[in-house]
Amino acid sequence: MSHLEEKTIKTEKIFSGKVISLQLEDVELPNGKTSKREVIKHPGAVAVFAITEDNKIVMVEQYRKALEKTIVEIPAGKLEKGEDPMECARRELEEETGYGCDEMDWLISFYTSPGFADEIVHLYIAKGLKIVEDAASPDEDEFVNLMEVSIEEALILLKEQKIYDAKTAYAVQYLQLQEALKK
Amino acid sequence: MSHLEEKTIKTEKIFSGKVISLQLEDVELPNGKTSKREVIKHPGAVAVFAITEDNKIVMVEQYRKALEKTIVEIPAGKLEKGEDPMECARRELEEETGYGCDEMDWLISFYTSPGFADEIVHLYIAKGLKIVEDAASPDEDEFVNLMEVSIEEALILLKEQKIYDAKTAYAVQYLQLQEALKK
């Protein structure tokens, strides 16, 4: 596959923040010409597809400044430096929903925006949920509303574009697929 | 839902490029305290889930500088200013694969990284594919290998992490769901 590769000629760091950093890269293309790439570096994230005993999906309603609106998502959060993704998944689930779980399994990992960012989301599925006494709280600048929705309710939220992001759409479709395979 | 909203106090533009721009926002949180948000603005994108007569998915292998690797994705591209998403989907399909289509239907739209970016992907499904004589070419800095993969091959590519991005994982799962519903 190396014939598609772009070699870095120069990297210029533009910005380094608490979540993302931005760099501009001069690259040599496969045909020997040059171009510029705008690249966002991100620490990576986890998302947790947590299912209750009565087959409801645990979701959080959250304001997203980048979108200037409130959407409904499965619980998710950034990896801290050196943090194991599954530990991060347990932490985010507890912080955002107050739930712990008996089972936590990796489902899939995917890049969200390969055209400009290296953000990867590791998606876990959590079962055997139980309320944690004195659960950890969300970050101090994070405000969420907890919701538990059936697959039918999730499909309505998708249609109404209240559920509106890739990881949550993937999770809902995953549950639809599991239901279809059972029949 | 307005009690979750974050009000903008100040916006500082950091960078404006050919694909993305970056701004820093000082916000007032629901509890009256303040915080900072790093926000990437993106023009939006389309992706095309094109299916051949023998039920194969048209994919492109492409080097992604942000990831420093080559992955396999469904055809996709950025919206040009004022461009209709369905027109963009037809253009990107032709440029990247040489295919036109009889049918092009909207499937779903989702935000890819709501935590820091407003990128939205509009996903279309294309059927009745036919090779376009003198098809438009990809952008001059874009190099892709065309592939046509069965659902079984796509699942192997997912496992091998050659397919590794949200929109393509969603599309493969969509086809799995359709197959399961047929049975």
CATH number at residue A168: 3.90.79.10
Report how far residue A7's alpha carbon sits from residue B143's, in angstroms, rounded to the nearest whole number.
13
Q: How confident is the model at residue B46 (pLDDT cuts 50, 70, 90)?
A: very high
Q: What is the rounded CA–CA span in Å between residue A23 and residue A139?
A: 27
Query: Other C-beta atoms within 10 Å of A2: how many?
Result: 7
Inform me whether the pLDDT recorded for B183 exceeds 90. no
Domain co-membership, B107 together with B177: yes
Question: B80 or A137: which carries more pLDDT confidence?
Answer: B80
Global pTM exceeds 0.80: yes
Residue B69, Cβ density class (10 Å: 0-12 exposed, 13-18 middle, ≥19 buried): middle
Whether residue A102 is found in the same domain as residue A121 = yes
Q: Is the pLDDT of residue B15 over 70?
A: yes
pLDDT of residue A141: 87
Quick one: B81 and B36 in the same domain?
Answer: no
Residue B139 confidence class, pLDDT cut points 50, 70, 90: confident
Distance, CA of B86 to CA of B46 (rounded, Å): 8
Check B42 against A15: CB less than 8 A apart.
no
Summarize the confidence of residues A53-81 as an average pLDDT: 97
Provide the percentage of residues in chain B whose pLDDT is more than 70.
99
Q: What gap in Å lies between CA A161 and CA A173, rounded to an integer? A: 15
Answer whether residue A163 shows pLDDT above 70.
Answer: yes
Rounded (10°) CA dihedral A97, B38, A106, A134: -20
Interchain pair B15, A17: CB under 8 A: no
Question: What six digits make up the tokens of B178?
Answer: 């359709």
What average pLDDT score do residues B127-155 get? 93
**What's the token pair of residue B161?**
């992490």
Identity of the residue numbered A164:
Y
DSSP-derived letter for residue B117 is: B
Q: Which residue has the higher pLDDT, B141 or B25?
A: B25
Strand pairing of A144-149 and B34-41? Answer: unpaired
pLDDT in tens, B60-85: 999 999 999 999 999 999 999 999 99
Residue A2 resides in a domain: no
How many Cα atoms sit within 13 Å of A92 on the Cβ side?
Answer: 31
* A65/B164 touch (CB, cutoff 8 Å), yes or no: no
**Residue A37 and residue A50 in one domain:** no
Residue B135 has a pLDDT of: 86
What is the number of CB-based contacts under 8 A between chain A and chain B? 200
Binding-face residues of B in 35-94 toward A, CB within 8 A = 35-40, 42, 45, 61-67, 70-71, 73, 76, 78
At residue A1, the pLDDT reads 44
Do the beta carbons of residue B36 and residue A18 sit within 8 Å?
yes
Q: What is the mean pLDDT of residues B42-59?
A: 96
Q: How far is A152 from chain B (nearest CA, A)?
A: 16
pLDDT tens readout for residues A4-58? 999 999 999 999 999 999 999 999 999 999 999 999 999 999 999 999 999 999 9
Range of the domain at A14: 7-41
Q: Which helix (H) or strand (E) holds A71?
A: strand A69-73
* Residues of A whose CB is below 8 A from B12: none
| Integer angstrom CA distances of residue A155 from A172, B20, B163 | 8, 31, 26
Share of residues in chain A with pLDDT > 70 (%): 99
Do B85 and B171 lie in one domain? The reply is: yes
Residue appearing with tokens 């969509």: B174
Q: How far apart are CA A73 and CA A59, in angstroms?
A: 5
Give chain A's domain count. 2
Please tell me whether residues B37 and B49 are part of one structural domain.
no
Residues A77 and A146 in one domain: yes
Least confident of A69-73, B1-5, B78-82: B1-5
User: In the structure, what pLDDT confidence band is assigned to residue A109 with cuts at 50, 70 and 90?
Assistant: very high
Contacts of B151 in chain A (CB under 8 A): none
Q: Residue A3 above 90 pLDDT?
A: no
**A28 and A96: one domain?**
no
B119 classed as catalytic: no
Which residues numbered 121-160 in B keep a CB inside 8 Å of some CB on A?
121, 140-141, 143-145, 158
Q: What is the ipTM of this complex?
A: 0.96
pLDDT at position B2, please?
63
A97 occurs within a structural domain: yes
Q: Is residue B66 domain-shared with residue B36, that is, in the same domain?
A: no
Q: Is B183 exposed, middle or buried (0-12, 13-18, 19+ CB in 10 A)?
A: exposed
Cβ atoms A140, A103 nearer than 8 A: no
Q: Looking at the structure, do residues B70 and B28 belong to the same domain, yes or no? A: no
